[in-house]
Structure 1
Amino acid sequence: MDTQEWAKEGRDVSVYCNTQSAELFLNGNSLGEKKRNATTFPAGGLVWKVPFKQGDNILNVVGRTPNAEDAKHQISVNYLIGEHGKVDKIALSVKKLANGNQLIEAQAIDEKGNRVLDYNKRSYFFNMTSHGKLIENQGTPTGSSIIEMASGYAAIEFVSGAKPTTIEYRNQNVKGVYIDVK
């Protein structure tokens, strides 16, 4: 089966929860509600065929139990139908975290804008000023200023200072990509 047929048929998505049932949504559309059966493998039978579209997709799950509040979770999935090309650039972005810090994200991108999933170069993040602080030496995926990219992705948490700063990303093949952080 080629990748185009595979995408139309859908990919299996398993939901692991301790609620009696769960409903899965793809980009706001319900894919149905299923009851959990502890004797069914995998995920107690909470498995859906999900027809992802090319690019960004949002999965939401609502777990339900009688006489209790619903349990909810959301995840964003960037789905590629076919194969990515070679790395064209490293794209940096910043997003605000719930704790008030910022997450500096680096992604290896091909010429069509797809993330290059087999890119795993050692990555280095630098704060180019004394304003703010990178969370480093934690040994965690977002708490290390030196880390290998995983599936073309690396990130580090940043605590903003009183003034804007510039964060630099580099690896053995990329000599300086910069983003301004306010």
Structure 2
Amino acid sequence: GVVERDFTKKESYYVFQSYWTEKPMVHIYGHGWPVRWGDADEEKEVLVYSNCPSVELFVNGQSQGIRKRNSQDFPAAGLRWNVKLAKGQNTLRAVAAGKEALVDELSFEYQTAKWGKEHAFRVTSTPKEDGIVEVEAQLVDSNGIRCLDSRVFVSFDIAGDGELIQNQGTATGSRKVQARNGRAQMRVRTQGGTSCVAVKADKVQTSFITVQ
């Protein structure tokens, strides 16, 4: 249960790794969480998983202090910080001390705008390897603000030359998935042609995107 069927590691993988592996490691929680939200100047908790004796956290280049690891201190064995994030883009950097210096870094957006009920999708496509395109559908309200806590079920359909890469039992390989971080993804094999992908959910306007 700590990896998906395509061997993508879930966040829980790093929790177990921090206790079980002997090889030094460090991992900031939330690599699959591209947008976080809250109020301006609100303190947010940052967790780091590591088996190293101590970790220093940097937020947008500013040190937030060093924490010592204590396996009995839940959560994250004491490797946690309450920090203030800037509106817009933020960068977290964790530096673990031990026999060798290890670094993990991630960037994400911090949204302070409040949203209402899911109204429509904002759909984009990103080319991947070997003629595969990933379609992402972000749920937004009637003002176009991202609904980051939406958990509605999203369905994908296709017409044209390509085909959906479905029945994989993964977050990006299922025709119908529950939104996470207010978004859903689906991969399409274009087969050298052009297709129209439809994105649907109950009480949300259906959206379409052309991929090739």
TM-score by length of structure 1 reads 0.76
Residue of structure 1 in register with 2:188 after alignment: 158
Residue of structure 2 in register with 1:145 after alignment: 175
Residue of structure 2 in register with 1:47 after alignment: 80
Change over 3 Å in CA distance of 1:30–1:111 after alignment to 2: farther
Deviation at 1:142, TM superposition (A): 1.2
Deviation at 1:144, TM superposition (A): 0.5
Question: What's the Cα RMSD here?
Answer: 2.9
Q: Is the 8 A contact 1:101 1:157 kept in 2?
A: yes
TM-score by length of structure 2 reads 0.67
- Render the CA deviation track for 1:147-171: whole Å, top value 9, x for unaligned: 2323422111233432343322122
Q: Is the 8 A contact 1:9 1:49 kept in 2?
A: no
Deviation at 1:51, TM superposition (A): 0.9
Q: Number of residues paired by the alignment?
A: 175
- Render the CA deviation track for 1:67-104: whole Å, top value 9, x for unaligned: x352424252x433363223342101223457874321
- The reply to whether residue 38 of structure 1 matches residue 71 of structure 2 is yes
Change over 3 Å in CA distance of 1:134–1:37 after alignment to 2: same
- Render the CA deviation track for 1:80-129: whole Å, top value 9, x for unaligned: 33632233421012234578743211111124543213433322112221
Change over 3 Å in CA distance of 1:61–1:97 after alignment to 2: farther
> How far apart, CA to CA, are the structure 2 residues paired with 1:164 and 1:71?
42
Q: Secondary structure of 1:128's partner?
A: strand
Which runs of 5 or more structure 1 residues have no equivalent in the other structure?
none
Q: Is the 8 A contact 2:133 2:190 kept in 1?
A: yes
| Percent identity between the two aligned chains | 31
> How far apart, CA to CA, are the structure 2 residues paired with 1:60 and 1:149?
27
Change over 3 Å in CA distance of 1:162–1:172 after alignment to 2: same
Deviation at 1:143, TM superposition (A): 1.1
Change over 3 Å in CA distance of 1:103–1:75 after alignment to 2: farther
